[in-house]
Chains A and B, each alone.
Chain A
Amino acid sequence: MEWEVVIGLEIHTQLATKSKIFSGAATAYGAEPNTQACAVDLGLPGVLPVLNAEAVRMAIKFGLAVDAEISDRSVFARKNYFYPDLPKGYQISQYELPVVGKGHINIELEDGTEKVIGITRAHLEEDAGKSLHEDFDGETGIDLNRAGTPLLEIVSEPDMRSAKEAVAYMRKIHSLVRYLEICDGNMQEGSFRCDANVSIRPKGQEKFGTRAELKNINSFRNVERAINYEIERQIDVLESGGEVIQETRLYDADKNETRAMRSKEEANDYRYFPDPDLLPLIIEEETIDEIRATLPELPNEKRDRFVNELGLSLYDASVLTSSRELATYFESLLKATGGKDPKQCANWVIGDVSGALNKANLDISESPVSAEQLASVLNRISDNTISGKIAKTVFEALWAGEGKDADEIIESKGLKQVTDTGAIEAMVDEVLANNPDQVQQYRDGKEQLIGFFVGQIMKASKGKANPAQVNELLKKKLNG
């Protein structure tokens, strides 16, 4: 039987506010346990939540960026459950009336086509604290610093049909929230988390199959692995005559498997009701217009501009705009080289820079060679101080910290290109004189030997001879 996979994602993004969603406690990551948990976060008697204006603005920003309806009136609700890292016994969330309604975002598929993924809603809620199960001798430690950190939960439609599509969507949202500067996107620190709803159905069937909810997925790679594992598991269950049970499953990255969470008969009985401590949130049209005016250029807009105005290929433009930092690096490089050759800048960023970063396992923001430093290299190519080949040597030296810019390295390593015609001519003559047989063969019609001569001359000049001049002189002498 041929199966179709149906995937929907719930992405939790921690909003990059300074203070919590309902209290004035700090949200900075990595503080000493419980030093950023105030009376409101602890749910002590008599406290009242007061909504953070910036969290609301960030939610609206996201909504506008995915072309969603922004609710003029939204309501906070209590989601009730008991767990020690949730001190109040309920999480303040939104249920029936979320701040962001239906929207959509485009993802690129491997074959180069685009697919629209629907966004059902995005709502504001508070994060819970952290339970530490390891170090406390049979007891659980509770750190409530994270309790009350603002989250925007982004719920997609069940529009994805493979693990790859799910990852592409997740990357798109990740890139978007960083462009919008509403979330730092740090997955190790839990700022960007994902749950996946996965089901399968016989191809052609309208009705969805029973889904499992996968939790605890903390990297792009694991999303793909967890979903693929789960698809295989469900196919095995159905093909051996069993039934998929609707349940929550935890992904174990070490074992690469999903397993059912402890079955709780009360699971998902959250008894939502409007939170009497919070009044309805009213968002005026003027507020939305004002926020719309502050939106940065979004990834897809930037990509299209790179294609239409800079003449880059769609592939190059997509890679360069995949993260805001990479796009900024490229744009700084282009600016610092006078905007003359976008394609050359793109090649360096996508090729040499990204290659070296991958090898060193670094992010573009940690690149040892800044856009300005790289620009100094490209500028020396364009004024003929160095060849494209020597430029790679200069780049490697900059990467290794051997100088502050291209000029310093060209100077200290003596890499300046030889453009003196007399000097190049002398080298050409010498190489021709040392290889009379090859000269004869060339003149007898073996023209591919030109590469051999160029190679010998470049070697003799330690790569510093201007290749265009070498070619020209060589041809003149061989043919003349």
Chain B
Amino acid sequence: MSLDKHDVEKIAHLARLSIQEDDIPHYARDLNNILNLVDQLSAADTNGILPMAHPLDAHQRLRPDTVTEINHREAFQAIAPKTEAGVYLVPKVIE
């Protein structure tokens, strides 16, 4: 598999990354190198091996269902760019 200019632009858009036109060939080369590495991994026989979901050989600890957090709205909103009447304000996201 090989990524072209269009793929790089799409990946950047999905990740909301702004990239320079001039850098695209460079990114494409790097990403293709990564894919080549993955291709080498794919060559290994993984029959009967449980896919690893996490590098730690441990399982999820659970938390009892109790409310432990109190209201810190003021502190959180002090670092927000814009708030009004308790809500965070963002540029309009609906057409």
Footprint of B on A, CB under 8 Å?
A: 17-19, 23-26, 32-39, 42, 44, 50-56, 75, 80, 82-84, 97, 131-133, 136, 138-144, 262, 266, 269, 271, 274, 276, 278-282
The 8 closest A-B pairs by CB, nearest first: A24-B68, A54-B65, A141-B87, A53-B62, A33-B86, A38-B69, A282-B59, A142-B88
Which of the residues A50, A97, A271 comes within 8 Å of B63, measured between beta carbons? A50
Contact A19 B76 (CB under 8 A): no
Contact B87 A52 (CB under 8 A): no
A sample of 11 more A-B contacts (CB under 8 A), given A84-B93, A279-B60, is A17-B65, A24-B63, A24-B67, A32-B86, A35-B86, A38-B72, A52-B63, A140-B90, A143-B86, A274-B54, A279-B58
Measured CA separation A143–B94 after assembly (Å):
16
- Decide yes or no: A24 and B69 within 8 Å by CB, A83-B93, A274-B53, A279-B54 being known contacts: yes
Measured CA separation A64–B67 after assembly (Å):
27
- How far, in Å, is B48 (CB) from chain A's closest CB? 16
Q: Which residues of A contact B85 (CB under 8 A)?
A: 33, 141
Measured CA separation A138–B89 after assembly (Å):
10
- How far, in Å, is B64 (CB) from chain A's closest CB? 6
B26 at the interface (CB under 8 A from A): no
Contact A262 B65 (CB under 8 A): no
Q: Which residues of B contact A262 (CB under 8 A)?
A: 95
Contact A51 B66 (CB under 8 A): no
Q: Which residues of A contact B61 (CB under 8 A)?
A: 50-51, 279
Footprint of A on B, CB under 8 Å?
A: 10, 13-14, 16, 53-54, 56, 58-69, 71-73, 76-77, 82, 84-95
Q: Which residues of A contact B53 (CB under 8 A)?
A: 75, 97, 274, 279-280
> Interface of chain A, helix or strand or loop or mixed?
loop
- How far, in Å, is B66 (CB) from chain A's closest CB? 6
By CB atoms of chain B within 10 A, which of A35, A139, A281 has the most?
A: A139
